[in-house]
Amino acid sequence: MTEPGVGFRSGFVTVIGRPNVGKSTLVNRLVGQKVSIVSDRPQTTRSAIRGVRTTADTQIVFVDTPGIHRPRTLLGERTNRRAQDALDEVDVICVVVEANAPYGPGDRFVADLAHAAAAPAVLIVNKVDAATPDQVVDHLASAASALGEFDAYVPLSARTGEGVEHLVSELAARLPEGPQYFPEGVVTDQPETFLAAELVREQLLRVARDELPHSIAVSVEVDDDDNSRRDDVLSLLVTIRVERESQKGIVIGRRGAVLKEALTSARRELEALLSTRVFMRTRVTVERDWQRRPHSLDRLGFTQR
């Protein structure tokens, strides 16, 4: 940690909500760079991901969380727990809802979690660009009765950026004076291998769309066995896991087209983020029912907390 000047404010802000309300898009917008993958598939985010926004007088560490949902697998139970654990020992909690959809039981459940925590809570009404002015006004007017009292209410669009600076002001005003936790230029604490795995999964979700099973898992490690690569190239071994033998064909695609397109897009994006050349060696394996097996989840990093 570095010691900033007098009056410097810093802290941690957790972003929670139902699946697909735009949490990851919002965190990426706040940070100014992609740190969390985005997809219209529910439960895309599986881990609590930190994104860092640093200015001359503030540093806000945002924690993007998995969408809180009714779990059907052990993986779902553990991602829910990760989202709820992220409410502990933070300075502000942001509850994200959609401006173009009515409040539902899921929103109320998330709001109750926020109210039960010790930190102040801000309600974010996202997707105002996809809603009518009347819908936005109705959401703001009925928020307190539907979801309880919040410390602030902020309508915005994570997609266009409208209202985001107002949110930053509301958050900064609620942060304590404190140190700069991350150096200048750092936007996430995620290792290169995690970023690579998430980008590959994001691109597979994009390319295969509805055909791809949600049960896909991607892990990446530095490929120490690849002795043919040069020192200026980051060499990675990408392992893609599915639960059924029939799903391998979906991931690979006809003549390898799906896998090739996804890896090419992910590699180019990773190279842009890391400012270095990247080589990916890939394998697709079957690990039956990994979403429901504690040992498999532990090995893939989805440990019980």
Question: Which tens digit of pLDDT belongs to each residue from 122-150?
Answer: 999 999 999 999 999 999 999 999 999 99
Count the alpha carbons within 13 Å of 207 in the hemisphere toward its beta carbon. 22
Same domain, yes or no, for 55 and 140?
A: yes
32 inside domain:
yes
> In 3-state terms, what secondary structure has residue 236?
strand
> Per-residue pLDDT averaged across 251-271, rounded?
91
Same domain, yes or no, for 35 and 148?
A: yes
Mean residue pLDDT across the chain: 85
Which residues, including other chains, have CB under 8 Å from residue 82's CB and lie 6 or more apart?
A: 46, 47, 48, 65, 66, 305
pLDDT grade, residue 284 (50/70/90)? very high
Segments in the chain forming alpha helices (H):
23-31, 74-85, 105-116, 133-147, 164-173, 192-208, 245-252, 257-274, 294-299
Residue 44 pLDDT greater than 70, yes or no: no
Same domain, yes or no, for 161 and 26?
A: yes
CB 24 within 8 A of CB 45: yes
CATH number at residue 222: 3.30.300.20
Largest CA-CA distance found in the chain, in angstroms, rounded: 63
For residue 153, the one-letter residue type is Y
Query: DSSP class of residue 249?
Result: H
CATH number at residue 132: 3.40.50.300
Q: Count how many domains the chain has.
A: 2
Residue 260 pLDDT greater than 90, yes or no: yes
182 inside domain:
no
Residue 46 pLDDT greater than 90, yes or no: no
State the residue for tokens 């090419």: 264
Same domain, yes or no, for 27 and 122?
A: yes
Same domain, yes or no, for 160 and 199?
A: no
Which residues, including other chains, have CB under 8 Å from residue 291's CB and lie 6 or more apart?
A: 73, 74, 75, 76, 215, 243, 297
155 inside domain:
yes
216 against 95, higher pLDDT: 95
179 inside domain:
no
pLDDT at 103: 93
pLDDT tens digits for range 191-208: 888 888 988 988 888 887
Helices (H) and strands (E) in the chain — how many of each?
9, 9
Structural tokens at position 121: 């809570």
Domain that holds residue 220: 192-299
